[in-house]
Structure 1
Amino acid sequence: MKILKYLFFLLLIGIIAISIYFGTKDGSFNIAESKVIDAPAQVVYDNVKDFKNWQTWGPWMAEDPNIQITYAEKTEGEGGSYSWTSEEMGNGAMEIVKVIPGKEIDQKIEFNTPFGDSKSDVYWRFEDTATQGETKVTWGMKGEQSFMEKVYFGLFSNEELEPGIRDMYQSGLTKLDSVVTSQMKQFTVHVDGITQYEGGYYMYATTSSSMLDVGVKMGEVMGQVMGYIQSNNIAQNGKPFAVYNQIDTANNSVIFSAGIPVTDRVITPPGSPVVTGFMEPVTTLKTTLKGDYDNLQQAYAKANEYLAQNGLIPHPTAKMFEVYVTDPGEVPNPANFITEIYMPIVSPQEPEDSI
């Protein structure tokens, strides 16, 4: 009996010692992982803001393909939430508590464990980098481990809290990067058919460029024209466009004009780089590209194929042009850019030799 009492006291002392050790051990944690994604912050944010999007990149799907997810009526914005049940990962729920669109998301997460419920704060940060179009994404979780959680991870689990969360967040951010990159590359081309472009006055500036630098040059020249229009309080009367005056494939160069439609003719001072032009009404083959400008070559190929298949004759003097329906400053995802391509043709009702 004395031995049993002795063993009991030793066990009691051990329990007290363990309780003191884990009771005084700091259980606070703040674990975060970051990744730079080659996409605008708003595009990345749009893939995170709604819990329904998490299925495409969430790392826990790989941990438990049989996880059961239940969405609330509201799944984005403050008050948006969802919950899950999983034999592998346990049960839990998450709710959005604060949102700064395109910049921050704060959430509350709750895990239901055999040791009781555990609550922590989850946070997302979306920051621009020194490189235009890149975003530093940070995904973190902070909170305080309960006494039983400290005992569990200290005595019974072969895994540690921090490495496990870091591995999961790294995996999730890598998948998020892949999803965003894939989305931004999506595009469609539709040949709309023959249409009449009404033309009219426009302000424009002309420059030359290598074919590879057209995008950069286009932004510079279009900015110059827009600056002139705004500084002189001239009313814009349509979407910006570019006219391709000369394309030299042998030398990989192009001469183009960046223009913006206006209501009336504007007399510019001598030597002004921005001048007024007038586009005559013209019959065209219209093709619409939805996607990044990098896909314009595929759009032109499809338009030329349509021309050949339908016996349409390119106009001998009128120049082809592109109309930029969307403003990249307002539409961050290039997959949603809309560009209309107009290829002037000889009207089917008008013989070529009459022009």
Structure 2
Amino acid sequence: MKFLKRLLYFIVLLLVLLLVISFFLPSKVHLERSLQMNGVKPASVYAQLINLKTYNNWMPWNKQDPNIKQTMGDKTSGKGASYSWESKKMGNGSLTITDVLENKSVKADLNFTKNDTAKAGWDLEEKDGGTNVRWFMDSEAGGGFFSKAISKYLFLYMDKMLGKDFEDGLASLQKAAAANPALPNMPDPKMELAEITTPSRNLLYIKTSADNFNDIGKKLGAAYSEIGSFAKTLNLKMMGAPMAFYSGPDYPMQIEAAVPVDKLPPATQGSINTKQLLESKAVVIHFWGPYELLPKAYDKIKEWMKANNKESNGASYEVYIGDPGAEKDPYKVQTDIYQPIK
């Protein structure tokens, strides 16, 4: 019995001591992480941050519970946009975008419970051909006496508890922004669509990959140079403009850089491969404009296929008729986008 009393006294004394110590602990906590997103424009990052419907692509806590229930507010993009969540694993909460500065910063209020709140934000700085993103969060202990004391102790470990989540979130944000580059504010390109039958082609190609949009041109240039040198040694004739096949919108993006030739060689060397592109029905868009606006051509193809009940019959590919290195006006550079159809 004496032991139990002593144990009880010890526990009470320990609790009192912890409460007294909590008075001297900081009532606020600041957490931040930064990431240099090479090759990603601020506009692309900003587009991910202001649109709450894209948060599942990169927000770490949204990914940690596959059963999380989300409810979007009346507004889902820009200042005033909000959403809430319910999760047995992550707890309940809400996020509201409170302030935005285009391509510069986004700020938000977070409510994790009735008493726990935080102010978070992302600062964007264009730097070294990419974007330096700083993600920060400031929180203050709230609620009643005991709740504040518990929060203060949790604040001591906040960096260890959430720092890795911030790092993972920034890495995912970089991938999402790179895969969905924001269209620049440019005049619309000229586009002409036609349904055709493409001839068969003999192709020399090299498999390569690009980590971001700006990396594509470098990789294609190197591949075309290698293919050209190989074709020259075998006296193969170029039978058209260089081409490229892409695996999809996500980075790292797999690419096949190809050049049509008059005949396939009996053997290849190095990283060069061969294949034959068979005759096929296709829809083609003749596109004149900057490469950054090419997504508009793909959107137009999708709209046409839906309106005409057409199905794809293989991967789409691009043919680079014009040379942006020789023509300074991008709106005079022609690119043809082909989508084989059934």
Q: TM-score, normalised by structure 2?
A: 0.53
Of 178, 181, 184, which residue of structure 2 is paired with 1:181?
178
In structure 2, stretches of 5+ residues that fail to align are: 184-189, 196-216, 218-230, 233-283, 295-316, 337-342
Q: Check conservation: 1:95, 1:109, Cα contact below 8 A.
A: yes
Determine helix, strand or coil for the equivalent of 1:90: coil
Aligned mates of 2:335, 2:13 — CA distance in 1: 86
Q: Check conservation: 2:46, 2:104, Cα contact below 8 A.
A: yes
Q: TM-score, normalised by structure 1?
A: 0.51
Mapping for residues 63-212 of structure 1, pairs under 5 Å: 63-112=64-113, 117-129=115-127, 131=128, 133-146=129-142, 147-148=146-147, 150-151=149-150, 154=153, 160-184=157-181, 192=193
Q: Quote how far apart the aligned CAs of 1:23 are.
A: 2.9
Q: Quote how far apart the aligned CAs of 1:111 are.
A: 0.5
Aligned mates of 2:173, 2:88 — CA distance in 1: 25
Q: Check conservation: 2:31, 2:138, Cα contact below 8 A.
A: yes
Q: Check conservation: 1:185, 1:291, Cα contact below 8 A.
A: no
Of 321, 324, 335, which residue of structure 1 is paired with 2:330?
324
Q: Quote how far apart the aligned CAs of 1:100 are.
A: 1.1
1:14 alignment partner AA: L
Aligned mates of 1:52, 1:286 — CA distance in 2: 30
In the TM superposition, what whole-angstrom CA distance separates every residue of 1:19-60 from its partner, at most 9, and x where no partner exists?
A: 111232113211111111121111211111111111111112
Report sequence identity in percent: 22
- Shift of the 184–8 alpha-carbon distance from structure 1 to 2, 3 Å rule, reads closer
Matched residue count: 219
The residue aligned with 1:300 is 319
In structure 1, stretches of 5+ residues that fail to align are: 195-214, 216-248, 251-284, 305-319, 326-338, 344-355
Q: Quote how far apart the aligned CAs of 1:11 are.
A: 3.7
1:29 alignment partner AA: V
In the TM superposition, what whole-angstrom CA distance separates every residue of 1:36-92 from its partner, at most 9, and x where no partner exists?
A: 112111121111111111111111233111111110011222221110001110000
Aligned mates of 2:92, 2:293 — CA distance in 1: 45
In the TM superposition, what whole-angstrom CA distance separates every residue of 1:301-322 from its partner, at most 9, and x where no partner exists?
A: 5x79xxxxxxxxxxxxxxx979
2:172 alignment partner AA: K
- Report the structure number with the largest CA radius of gyration: 1
- Shift of the 17–65 alpha-carbon distance from structure 1 to 2, 3 Å rule, reads same
Q: Quote how far apart the aligned CAs of 1:14 are.
A: 2.5
Aligned mates of 1:291, 1:324 — CA distance in 2: 5
Q: Check conservation: 2:80, 2:97, Cα contact below 8 A.
A: yes
Q: Quote how far apart the aligned CAs of 1:291 are.
A: 6.7
Aligned mates of 2:290, 2:180 — CA distance in 1: 10
1:16 alignment partner AA: V
Q: Quote how far apart the aligned CAs of 1:150 are.
A: 4.8
